[in-house]
Amino acid sequence: MEQYLLNTKTAIVTGTSRGIGFAITKALLNLGVTVAGWSRTKPADFSHPKYFHFETDLAAQDSVDNSFQQTLIKLNHQIDYLINNAGIGHNALIEETKPDVWRKLFDVNIHGLFYASRLAIPVMKSQESGHIINISSGAGTNGIAGMSAYCGTKYAVNGISDSMHKELRDFGIKVTCLSPGSVDTGFSSSNKNKILPDELAQSVIHILRSPENFHYTEVQVRPLRPNL
C-alpha cells in the first residue's frame, strides 16, 4: 500500500549522535528515507549516502535556525517527518538542583522542540502533509522522586503535543507523542529487560506507516517485565 512506502520521504531527527535518535535514524535509512540529523556531535563511525549531519545545539535558537536553512537546501525544501528526540536527564532532589542545570533541561527538552517545530510546520502546511513525533517519557505522566526537572520537561512535551495535534490536524499534519518507559540508553542503570533503542525505533516506523486518515495522537510503550 502506498502509505507504507517511505523511500521518497525526508526526515529531520534531533539528537542523532547515539541512543534513541541514532536508532531511529538507522531505521528510517533502512527504509530509504533521506535523513537530516541534528546533534552536537556526529554518530561515531557512521556514514550513509542518504544521511546528512548538521552540527546543532538544540538549546540555541540561532543554531537551530542555521541548521534548518541548510537542511531545507539539502532536502529540496521537502520535510515529511520531524522527530523531536533530543533530550537530557538529571537526577537530583529539587532543592539540590542547580538553576543552570534546571534551565539546561528545559532549553534542550522543551525549547529545542519548539525551535524545530516552529520552523518545520510552515513547510508541512505548504505540503498539506507531514508527521511530527515528539519523544516524551513515562516520566511525563508519572512523577518520579529525584527527577523533578526531567519530569517537568516531559509533562510539558505531553501538553505541547496535545495542543499541536489539535492545531495541525486540519492541515493534514499528524502529531504523535511517543512515551516510552525504561529504555536502555545509559541514562540510568542498565537492565536486561529495558526497551532497546532499536525496538523503540520500530515503534516510530509503525506510527509513520499508519494509513493517511489514521492518527496516533499518544502512544505509550513499556517493557513487558521490567523488574526481572
Catalytic residues: 150
> Following CA atoms 88, 223, 82, 20 in sequence, which dihedral angle do they give, to the nearest 10 degrees?
50
Give the max Cα distance, the chain.
Answer: 54
Report residue 215 as a C-alpha cell.
Answer: 492518527
Question: Which residues, in sequence order, are CB contacts of 191 under 8 Å at separation 6+?
Answer: 182, 184, 226
Radius of gyration of the chain from its Cα atoms, rounded to whole angstroms: 17
User: Rounded to 5 degrees, what are φ and ψ at 30?
Assistant: -65, -20
Residue 65: helix, strand or coil by DSSP?
helix
Residue 120: helix, strand or coil by DSSP?
helix
